[in-house]
Amino acid sequence: LAVAMEKTGFSLILVLALVTLSTSSQKKCILTGTWQNDLGSNMTISAVNEAGQFYGSYLTTVSAAEKPILVSPLNGSQHIDDMGQPTFGFTVTWSFSDSTTVFVGQCFVDDHGEETLQTMWLLREKVKSAEDNWKATTGLWWSGLPVPACVEE
């Protein structure tokens, strides 16, 4: 029985060491930086503070607004945990229209260490009356990759 206990104790320690090694070497997804989607829109996120809050800017390449597209501010927060692939949400208040967009999503890291943001968004446009409310909100998904350092401004 003592020999069996020694082997069990050793196996447990070995398993704990392997679990610790694999979780400590796991790449974590970092939201900070510049991201670009497949349409060429760019989002820059500042450093995320201890509470998970961040700010930044968004430059869209797609708009139905009649005014010229401008860089617009964003504010958001992410869930802080040790898992490394955080959920997050942010709001963009468009500088060139009476619209606001909210994004919710998650940052993923694949087996090769590549980061990707997967989000859903809802765009709320200002309408003249409650009767037009039905056409004021649209939405879709957004997928983005980090912009290489040499492309960042």
Domain regions of the chain by residue span:
33-146
Strands 72-78, 87-93: pairing kind: antiparallel
pLDDT in tens, 38-50: 889 999 999 899 9
- The pLDDT value given to residue 80: 84
- Which tokens sit at 12? 């447990």
pLDDT score at 21 = 37
| pLDDT of 141 | 67
Enclosing H/E stretch for 11: helix 2-24
| pLDDT for the residue 147 | 65
Q: How much is the pLDDT for 63? A: 87
Query: What is 33-146's CATH superfamily?
Result: Avidin-like (2.40.128.30)
pLDDT-flagged residues of the chain (< 70): 1-26, 141-153
- The Cα 121–Cα 7 span in angstroms is 53
The CA distance from 122 to 132, in Å, is: 17
Give the amino acid at 9.
G
CA angle 144, 147, 152 (to 5 degrees): 140
- Dihedral angle over CA of 28, 33, 35, 41, nearest 10: 160
Task: Name 72's bridge partners.
Answer: 58
Q: What is the pLDDT of residue 3?
A: 43
